[in-house]
Structure 1
Amino acid sequence: MIDRRLFQLTEKKNLILLVVVRLLNLFSSILLWWTISIELSNYFYTKTGHSALLVSVLFGVCILKIILSKCQEILTFRASSELRLHLRKEIVAKSFRLGKSQNQLPSSTLAQLSVDGIEQLEIYYARFLPQLFYCLFASFMIFFTLGMFAWKPALLLLLCMPLIPLVIMGVMKIAKRILSGYWTTYTDLGVKFHENLSGLSTLKAYNQDEAKQLEASSNAEKFRKVTMSLLSMQLNSITIMDIVSYCGAAAGIGVALFSYQQGNLSFEGMLMFLLLSAEFFIPMRQLGSLFHVAMNGISACKKLFDYLERTEPAYGKTVLETPVETLKLENVSFSYSENSPALDSVNLSLAKGEFTAVVGKSGSGKSTLVRLILHHLTDYQGAIFWNQTELRQLSKQTLLQHALLVDNHGYLYPKTIKENLLVGNRHASDEAIWKILDKVQLTSFIKQLPHQLEEPLYENGGNLSGGQRQRLLLARALLKEADFYLFDEITSGVDLKSEKIILSCLKELAKTRIVLFISHRLYNVLEADQVFVFENSHLVAAGTPAELKDTSAYFKDYFEDEQVLLSGGTEF
């Protein structure tokens, strides 16, 4: 029920002070009830009272309780805000450290954890845990107070107290099963909703939006049923806790009245039992209510720490002092699961001055190759050399400095064109920017804009065409001046004009850099200096396009099938 890892993230001072303030609040309530009992007892027996004293105590206790309640709110806010801020910093830092490794979560799941998950955890940490410790001390404080008047009724109340935690423990066993399914269903629903929203235009184009709507409705209904099951369990347990609380209080009051009738309890003590018997169960009853609210936080806590404890990519300490001029893979294999290798015994080499392309159908291992070369996937067999240094020995800074991946998932920020380009090189001058824009043939387009380089972009380049957006991403990559460029399906979804411009830029770039171009379309790589062909996780052919047409049956058949689909010829 208590995850000690939470206390390692934040200081425990606020939680301790919160428990102390609540105990002081309870002490002031006991003092108030005791004063009222004394005054009523005096009035009952002597028909006299100290009204001035009673009013003074009432006024003083009310002021004190107001101050303590305000302090309680402040401490609760501090504890919760400290936890939220610290956890969100940890999650963001962890996401950057994991990068695009295989241990990274989908963006939608990560967003749910860092927003809803932490908000649920805040209730568990800042409200439930202080209430839990408060209950332990409050029960004994009230027990010792009532024990001064009559120990038997007080002991009866104390013995009834563990029944509520026993109910909570019983509910916990059921809740773990329900909550695991609840949170999994919730995150899966978020992932699918994000996917459907991202691909809405595609679904509309293929008239599949209605089918996805039915699927989403089915998933939402499944989540509703899990939620209702959780609420039903919570309501049933609340009913049981109410029965225990009311029966325990009634039993304590009954025994106190019987003791008073037998002359074993004073009138003052009987009044204290009447006033404090209900108070005796209130802390534990509040704990039960908070427990139901905090159950989601308990589940979220596990998910959050599972993410924070995921294995991060290991980097070496070697720093390359010279540019990367060669890259070599020796007998490299990698599997996402034991039974299905994504790459199997791959040997290839890349060199500066060569335009190298990798082709293959979907699922052949092209993207896995890219992720391995960039150290996004680390658990591989074999060796990958940058110059003469094995990839595992290189520092993270070296990898980020010398290599760059450009794909069709690049993001353009809702800022100016210049600000987006400066992400690639923040020290680039306007002259350098215009020179790069001229290479990707965007100069004339940008110069006709009202603010030119200062023209604001919509989110992810929403006010650009697909080809313009991709060429702008290419321009930003060229500004970085990396030694090694990997282009993964960068021509996917662009118009023919932009495609030709992009391929021309890559060929020119390959004269002075290592360039690896990934594509599943063969007509894009006809001017490459060398082509590696992948099929079913294996490197099945390598050579120039002309050589492969004559020597590789797979390459020739693949190319001819593609030309048929494109309604083109088969001539090079």
Structure 2
Amino acid sequence: MKVMKPLKPYGLHITAVVLLTLGGIMLELLLPTLMANVVDIGIVNGDMPYILRTGGLMLLLAFIAIILMTGVSFFASKTAQGFGRDIRRSLFVNVESFSLQTFEKVGTASLITRSTNDVKQVQDVLNMMLRMMTRAPLMLVGGIIMAVTREPGLSSVFLGALPLLALLIFIISRKAIPLFVSLQKKTDRLNLIVRENLTGVRVIRAFNRAIRERKRFDAANMDFRNTGIQVNKMMAVMFPVMMIVMNFTNIAIVWFGAVRIDQGIMQVGNLMAFLQYSMMILMSLIMLSFGFIMIPRAKASMDRIIEVLNMENDIFDPEQPKACQGEGNVEFKEVTFRYEGAEKPVLHRISFTAKKGETTAIIGSTGSGKSTLLQLIPRFYDVGSGAVYVDGVDVREMSQQELRAKMGYVPQKAFLFSGTLLENLRYGNKTATENEIWEALDIAQASEFIREKEEGIRFMIEQGGANLSGGQKQRLSIARALIRKPEIYLFDDSFSALDTKTDAALRAELNKVTKDATVIVVAQRVSTVMDADQIIVLEEGEVAGIGTHQELVGQNRIYQEIVASQHAEEEGA
């Protein structure tokens, strides 16, 4: 299993845990025997030197056992923490490689839960298993051997209690597994609602939906609580029942042991030692039962982790990728694409060519497939049929790294990472100089408000760019793409949050720096696309027209409707 591979580097640590546990238990098993000798030999005979020697030996053995068990805790914790770190890294790396389509199969909320809560569950149980589940079987077997060796006649008392405890563990474990699986799914649901409420807090307040969202959260929270209570009820019943069995076992041992002492068959020291061994045996069973309760929950978490690790990405590099050497020309040839589970294609038989030194604009109504079309170029999705070519090479035959290195992509929803503005802009080109950064900011019409900041380009950006307006974030996203100086620029409705004046100034500056590149712009406003070398009109996923602004205004009905509707809006404003 993939999830067990990260344990291989910790083989020496696990071996150390087992050996140290074995050594510690052997010393602990000797202590009751030495105590019995103190009573039966030292105290009965009044031999004080023997009592002191044996007592001193007991203290020494106990001290060594403490050191060994400390080592067990150290190596177990180091192994569990390292294992958790490696699993989180494997999950993160695997998810990073997912295509958008693969990513959407699991969802953001579930992936966060699997990378944090589920890994924590597995990590904690691994730590417990190394510390307790290696100790319990060794102590159980060693305790039984020592007890039977000292007093075979009394062994039947606690051996009768073992089947009762084993049956209890089996019943609890069988009922716990489906509950733990359900609990993890309800953790996903709770995490999803919390994430939606935190990220959508402005919308919730704007529409006065706080009470509705609170009720939705309360329902999910109560569902999670009820399942958790069911699990805890099992554990609440299990441990008192075990303690009752243990206490009655001890009563029976003392009762029958007293009878044997009265008959002269058994000595007091032996009874004391036997009680200690029976306690060790029963305590080891309690540790095992605790493990059997926790393991199902860890198994549920591990299955969810393995599911993500085993997910096969539907977009991968070819074994022998083709090199792409050219000027950045992009061609769509009979491209059809549909989302998984969709009834009909989002794009149908799309064909056009975007050439170097030209601007190709894509316009159409909402839902016509504009953004989807743009995302096929860097292979965020793969086409269903047809092909997308960059400089004559099918993008599926290129390595994704080489393909995307040729592009500067500005997404529809501008996203900035927490950190300094400098770090965000160098995301496009980590070797960019400060002069190049200011040049890109000037072109993107963002330098003015950045110069107003005391820290300048070292201004701290909050998570998601929360301390910036929508237009500011769009301009910084454009600057990030410009710093890369790519062969192909992809603008996915990247000017929607800009006012008309800023939009015009930005496009004028862009035309100067992108004159030797291929530019593909998705836009809603006619004013943004009217200067493009060619405009592609999309209608319900199909090409409804291709031409310049003047050609389409004169000949294309759909484009005419778009122009007329926006002209009417401007007049109304």
Give 2:11's aligned residue: 12
Write the letter of the residue equivalent to 2:316.
A
Instruction: Show CA shifts across 1:17-58 (max 9, x none).
Output: 223323322222221111111221225754546221232123
- 1:306 pairs with 2:307: yes
Inter-CA distance 440–336: structure 2 relative to 1 (3 Å threshold): same
Q: Is the 8 A contact 1:128 1:291 kept in 2?
A: no
Alpha-carbon separation, structure 2, partners of 1:91 and 1:377: 21
Give 1:532's aligned residue: 536
Inter-CA distance 269–415: structure 2 relative to 1 (3 Å threshold): closer
Inter-CA distance 249–98: structure 2 relative to 1 (3 Å threshold): farther
Inter-CA distance 358–379: structure 2 relative to 1 (3 Å threshold): closer
- 1:347 pairs with 2:348: no
Write the letter of the residue equivalent to 2:32.
W
Give 2:411's aligned residue: 407
Inter-CA distance 431–21: structure 2 relative to 1 (3 Å threshold): closer
SS of aligned partner of 2:361: strand
Inter-CA distance 41–423: structure 2 relative to 1 (3 Å threshold): same
Write the letter of the residue equivalent to 2:379.
H
Inter-CA distance 166–440: structure 2 relative to 1 (3 Å threshold): same
SS of aligned partner of 1:91: helix
Give 1:283's aligned residue: 284
- Larger deviation, residues 80-89 vs 104-113: 104-113
Give 1:325's aligned residue: 329
- 1:491 pairs with 2:502: no
Alpha-carbon separation, structure 2, partners of 1:244 and 1:352: 83
Instruction: Show CA shifts across 1:319-343 (max 9, x none).
Output: 3233322332333333312645333
Counterpart mapping for 1:391-430 below 5 A: 391-430=395-434
5+ residue gaps, structure 2: none
SS of aligned partner of 1:336: coil
Q: Following TM superposition, by how much is the alpha carbon of 1:10 offset from its aligned partner in structure 2, in angstroms?
A: 4.2
Counterpart mapping for 1:174-253 below 5 A: 174-247=175-248
Alpha-carbon separation, structure 2, partners of 1:134 and 1:165: 18
5+ residue gaps, structure 1: none
Q: Is the 8 A contact 2:329 2:353 kept in 1?
A: no
Q: Is the 8 A contact 1:506 1:515 kept in 2?
A: no
Give 1:385's aligned residue: 389
Alpha-carbon separation, structure 1, partners of 2:230 and 2:434: 61
SS of aligned partner of 1:102: helix
- Larger deviation, residues 66-75 vs 513-522: 513-522
Q: Is the 8 A contact 1:383 1:390 kept in 2?
A: yes
Q: Following TM superposition, by how much is the alpha carbon of 1:478 offset from its aligned partner in structure 2, in angstroms?
A: 0.6
Q: Following TM superposition, by how much is the alpha carbon of 1:513 offset from its aligned partner in structure 2, in angstroms?
A: 1.8
Alpha-carbon separation, structure 1, partners of 2:199 and 2:286: 46
Alpha-carbon separation, structure 2, partners of 1:422 and 1:154: 73
Inter-CA distance 165–132: structure 2 relative to 1 (3 Å threshold): farther
Instruction: Show CA shifts across 1:133-160 (max 9, x none).
Output: 3332321111111121244643664564
Alpha-carbon separation, structure 2, partners of 1:551 and 1:287: 80
Inter-CA distance 531–206: structure 2 relative to 1 (3 Å threshold): farther
- 1:465 pairs with 2:464: no
Q: Is the 8 A contact 2:6 2:86 kept in 1?
A: no
Sequence identity, in percent?
A: 20
Q: What is the CA RMSD across the aligned residues, in angstroms?
A: 3.3
SS of aligned partner of 1:531: strand
Give 2:91's aligned residue: 91
Q: Is the 8 A contact 1:365 1:536 kept in 2?
A: yes
Give 2:69's aligned residue: 69
Inter-CA distance 72–325: structure 2 relative to 1 (3 Å threshold): same
Structure 2 residue corresponding to 1:365, chosen from 360, 365, 369 = 369
Instruction: Show CA shifts across 1:516-559 (max 9, x none).
Output: 22234555433333333334444444434444455544444455
Give 1:54's aligned residue: 54
SS of aligned partner of 1:437: helix
Inter-CA distance 198–9: structure 2 relative to 1 (3 Å threshold): farther
Alpha-carbon separation, structure 2, partners of 1:505 and 1:161: 83
- Larger deviation, residues 326-335 vs 137-146: 326-335
Give 1:30's aligned residue: 29
Alpha-carbon separation, structure 2, partners of 1:166 and 1:366: 63
Write the letter of the residue equivalent to 2:21.
R
TM-score (norm 1): 0.87
Q: Following TM superposition, by how much is the alpha carbon of 1:116 offset from its aligned partner in structure 2, in angstroms?
A: 2.7
Give 2:518's aligned residue: 514
Alpha-carbon separation, structure 1, partners of 2:132 and 2:543: 62
Inter-CA distance 443–372: structure 2 relative to 1 (3 Å threshold): closer
Give 2:174's aligned residue: 173
SS of aligned partner of 2:272: helix
Alpha-carbon separation, structure 2, partners of 1:258 and 1:39: 22
Write the letter of the residue equivalent to 2:502.
S
SS of aligned partner of 2:428: coil
Give 1:478's aligned residue: 482
Give 1:41's aligned residue: 40
Write the letter of the residue equivalent to 1:94.
N
Give 2:116's aligned residue: 115
Structure 2 residue corresponding to 1:315, chosen from 307, 314, 317 = 317
Q: Following TM superposition, by how much is the alpha carbon of 1:250 offset from its aligned partner in structure 2, in angstroms?
A: 5.1
Inter-CA distance 557–99: structure 2 relative to 1 (3 Å threshold): same
Instruction: Show CA shifts across 1:328-373 (max 9, x none).
Output: 2333333312645333433333222332222344443333323322
- Larger deviation, residues 519-528 vs 144-153: 519-528
TM-score (norm 2): 0.87
Alpha-carbon separation, structure 1, partners of 2:12 and 2:214: 50
Inter-CA distance 252–493: structure 2 relative to 1 (3 Å threshold): farther
- Larger deviation, residues 2-11 vs 420-429: 2-11
Inter-CA distance 12–356: structure 2 relative to 1 (3 Å threshold): same
Q: Following TM superposition, by how much is the alpha carbon of 1:384 offset from its aligned partner in structure 2, in angstroms?
A: 2.0
